[in-house]
Amino acid sequence: MQGDHHGDHHIVIVDGLTVRHQHLVSALKSAKGMSVQSRSLDELVENKPEQEEDAGLIDVIVLLADEETPHQDMTTKIRAAGLTQPLLVLGPETGTTDDEADEMIRLPVQIGFLLGRIRAYISKYESSEEATLTLGAYVLRSGLRQLILPDGSAVKLTEKEINILRFLHRANGQPVSRDVLLAEIWGYNSQISTHTLETHIYRLRQKSEGVSEHLPLETPLLVTDAGGYRLVV
């Protein structure tokens, strides 16, 4: 994916390869905190979430529709493929509806407005009961504040613990330094020290690895690496 930066939100542009849409795609790719890739509809729906290695990295799907292809057919295929992420349809039509889309946005659109809508849907989706992230042998259910362990049992997480796991997940298996995690999770607060982060990491490890005596030791959730932490994915 373009823009492989820690903490980026991952946006998929569907059928956005036409010349008239390139300026919009380029603007999204240059936006801070966004990692964007373009796919055809067939490429997206033929790689179902349970089969696609990076499916969990998709935060929002943006469908660029036109007069020639009914967007209702396209959004139905996207949902049928098991993709539950927020789906925004951008097109020239006005007054149309689509039961499978979260929002219809008329083109042309100001990039600032579009980014605002994308970020709003990311925030809403991450806190919904439908939102799940596969973290190696674990599953994070953010809306329910649950971490599903490899043996099928569930443990409760705090909001900070969830935010740590989300951020590490976006790093796609790469280590994230303590300073970056502190800045992203707690903000630039001089009162927060690395000890605070280490305490949260310790509790996460206790919850994920110390609850079940049957949990295999070879399936840890996260490890210390390169001066920081990374998920085992």
**Domains of the chain and any CATH numbers:** 9-126 (3.40.50.2300), 132-231 (1.10.10.10)
Asked if the peptide bond before residue 220 counts as cis, ω within 30 degrees of 0, the response is no
CA distance 171 to 51: 20
Q: 27-30 long-range CB contacts below 8 Å, 24 or more apart?
A: 27/111, 28/62, 28/111, 28/114, 28/115, 29/2, 29/3
0.85 surpassed by pTM:
no
Structure token pair of residue 229: 């932490």
Q: Give the model confidence (pLDDT) of 68-126 as tens digits.
A: 767 888 999 999 988 888 999 998 775 678 889 999 998 888 999 999 999 999 888 77
Query: Average of pLDDT values for 43-60?
Result: 64
Q: Flag whether pLDDT at 215 surpasses 60.
A: no
CA distances from 200 to 147, 161, 164, 206 (A): 15, 7, 9, 10
Q: Is the pLDDT of residue 193 over 50?
A: yes
